[in-house]
Structure 1
Amino acid sequence: MRTPAEVIPSDWAHWSHSAPTVVKPLSNGLTNRSYQILADGTLLVLRRNSPASSQLDLNRMAEAQALRLADRAGLCAPVVYCDPQQRYLVTRFIQGTPIDANQSPDREKLAALVREIHRQPTIAVALEIEEKISRYRRAIAPHATFAGALASLHRKIEPHMAAAARLSDGMVLCHNDLQENNLIAGLDGRLYAIDWEYAASGDAYFDLAVITEEFDWDTSGRENFLANYLQRVPGERELQRLQHWQHIYRYLALLWYAVQNCHRDLTGAPDRSDSIHREAEALLRRLY
């Protein structure tokens, strides 16, 4: 457990008139440490960025740009301060709870949030999926027990990347990590997206793939969500496009965990070698 002096940045005067106090640690993600704090009588969230940000290919400048756009549109926790040295981020605390994948979230409301994100202006940083995958692969130790399975999986994913590129209709602003812990149902009745550290301009269907995979919807659920997003019945081309991106996302997520695993000295993550290998084999079977 860190002491309050270790949690609160020494340059807090940039964003608070009085010395902030730590209320409690928040459930920590796999890359960062977050705390609920009190500053000038207001509840805030302080996120201390991961020392493995470089290995995980995180672009904090892109995050700041996306946050400014999302903040203006009321789509995220209001931004208080983005540290220019990229050590931490301070936002308002949203009164609410993360949505629960097991309780059938409101697909219409979720689709509306994603549509609104995609309506925002694009930013200069783009998610070039082949480059992202290449950077992740370079950050994975070649002697890792799961390296062979991931290499086999890469060969199976390449045709899906090519097909997704052919079906693309341009770039939009994407959050790129819309899983349940990053979606907050506010007490005001609104839905908010938090943790924009993977945000970039990219293919809209990547965001849709993240949601449909993370919520583990069946075919009917996926088609219903896509219809809500498109505001019409999806065609075969759109269903195929979503499926390609689902496979790509699942592979990218495995690579992300593999990078985490190979840099446990920085992230403090537990050893997931066996589960990464099992999931890679399962995805290989799914693609045959």
Structure 2
Amino acid sequence: MKNNKELIYGIMQDTLGVSKEMVQYIERTPGGETNDSYFVTIEEERFVVRIPGKGTEELLDRCAEKQNLLFGTELGINPPLVYYDDETGVKITRAIDGAEALTPKMAREKGLMQDVIHLFQCLHHAEAPTMNRFDLFKRIDHYESLVKNENEMKLDQIASLRQDIHELKNVYQSFQVKEVPCHMDAVFVNILKDKEDHLFLIDWEYSGLCDPLWDIATLSLSLLLDEEEEMFFLSYYFGRSPNEEELQRLHLLKIFLDYYWSLWYFYKEAKGEQFGDSGMRRVNRAESHIIQYKDIYESNIVV
């Protein structure tokens, strides 16, 4: 924390012309696995300063993130962006007054769940003709290569899952999916509520054009939604009951999502970060969802 404080003083000086003496308070924000973020108070004005974590330069496109942050800010669903360095990934936003991150209990309140759905609709229905594409399977290939270079034995341990993923990829790619602006990391802790109950999405690092069901799958897994809760979300989101293809895509995306993030954990751990058994828990859940998927859709699997 001490070293990061000095770094933050330097960042505020270089970007906003703020001297060390003007900085009244620095506090680490809760959560966050990719980066270190801090609340910084300057003459009663609060900011959030993000310092990128280890190995992120291999995982992220900072130029694309900057454009998507500006896009989200224009939509009114990202905290106001003050500064962004697309070379270092250092970011400064204004802190949302009275903001609190969603909790599973809060998110299950019917009115708030509907607000979250409206938030997703605002993003997914927006026009973004120049937004980068989140190419899921290209990303997976890239992450596999990163893990292989750092710890090839880890890939050997999940060889069976890798085989299933590449078989299920053929099924998913048979669908005609309209890709739309997506957040790509819409876990509940990345959704903030201000004092007026307005919702914001934070941490846009992985955002891009993709299947909108990815964001729904992400939120569903992070909240551990049961079948009834998930059907409520989908029905309200679509304005109708989801069709069979949408349900199948959602199931597939949950599998891909857990596999994708397991690779992320394995690579970050190889770079010296500690996440306990998070990566293997993702692997185990993906394998469980594959068993469920095969029970339902066995005849549709292309090998």
Is residue 231 from structure 1 mapped to residue 232 from structure 2 by the alignment? no
Partner AA of 1:117 in structure 2:
L
Q: 1:40 to 1:59 in 2, by over 3 A?
A: farther
TM-score scaled by length of structure 2: 0.85
Would you tell me which structure has more helix in proportion to its own residues? Answer: 2
**What is the SS of the residue equivalent to 1:252?**
helix
- Please say if 1:113 is aligned against 2:116: no
Q: Does 1:125 align with 2:132?
A: yes
Structure 1 Cα separation of the partners of residues 180 and 252 of structure 2: 18
**Correspondence for 1:218:** 226
How high is the sequence identity, in percent, across the aligned residues?
23
- Deviation of 1:153 (Å): 0.8
- When residues 271 and 165 of structure 1 are mapped into structure 2, their CA distance, relative to the original with a 3 A threshold, is same
Contact 1:141–1:262 under 8 Å retained in 2: no
**Cα–Cα, structure 1 residues 256 and 168, in superposed 2: closer, same or farther, change >3 Å?**
farther
The whole-number CA distance in structure 1 between the counterparts of 2:269 and 2:54 is: 14
Equivalent residues of 2:54, 2:268 under 8 A apart: no
Change (3 A) 1:10 1:77: closer
Matches within 5 A, 1:81-92: 81-92=83-94
**Pairing 1:205–2:208 present:** no
> Does the residue aligned with 2:209 lie in a helix, a strand or coil?
strand
- C-alpha distance in 2 between matches for 1:214 and 1:14: 35
Secondary structure in structure 1 of the residue aligned to 2:147: coil
State the TM-score, normalized to the length of structure 1: 0.89
Name the structure 2 match of 1:189: 197
Deviation of the 1:11 alpha carbon? 6.2
Provide closer, same or farther for how the CA distance between residues 24 and 231 of structure 1 changes in structure 2, counting only shifts above 3 A: same
For structure 1, list consecutive stretches of 5 or more residues without a partner in the other structure: none
Q: Secondary structure at the match of 2:54?
A: coil
Q: Equivalent residue for 2:180?
A: 172
Which of the residues 43, 63, 66 maps onto 1:64?
66
Are residues 13 and 50 of structure 1, via their aligned partners in 2, closer, same or farther at CA, if it must alter by over 3 Å? Answer: same
Contact 1:177-1:207 at 8 Å conserved across structures: yes
Spell out, residue by residue over 1:4-57, the C-alpha distance to the aligned partner (whole angstroms, 9 max, x if none).
3222334635335665524312125122111111235411100011231123x2
The 1:221/1:149 distance shift into structure 2, 3 A limit, reads farther
| Residue 274 (structure 2) pairs with residue 270 (structure 1) | yes
- Amino acid paired to 1:66: N
Contact 1:125-1:201 within 8 A present in 2 as well: yes
Q: 2:2 — aligned with what?
A: 2
Which residue matches 1:283? 286
Q: Which structure carries more relative contact order (alpha carbon 8 Å, separation 6+)?
A: 1
Residue 69 of structure 1 contacts residue 120 of structure 1 at CA under 8 Å; is this kept in 2? no
Q: How many residues align?
A: 282
TM-align CA RMSD: 2.2
Counterpart-to-counterpart distance in 1, 2:282 and 2:177: 31
Quick one: distance in 1 between partners of 2:141 and 2:169?
A: 13
Q: Give the SS at the match of 1:198.
A: coil
Gaps of 5+ in 2: 292-303
